[in-house]
Amino acid sequence: MNRNGLYLIIAVLAVVAIGLGIYVYREENKPGIEIRIGQDGVSVEEN
């Protein structure tokens, strides 16, 4: 494999890693409502 192919593979992997990181960050910070049902009753929390 020549150097250009190796650089291409590294660039593609870097783009995939950055894209996955952005996706995970946005999913973790998405506003939402959490509903819990337990022994103490129903609890509703807004994230």
For 1-47, where are the alpha helices, taking DSSP H only?
3-28
pTM above 0.85, yes or no: no
DSSP annotation of 44 reads E
Distances (CA, A) of 10 to 28, 30, 39, 40: 27, 30, 52, 52
Give the pLDDT confidence of 16-45 residue by residue, as tens digits: 999 999 999 998 888 788 889 988 899 888
Record the tokens describing residue 38, joined without a space: 């337990």
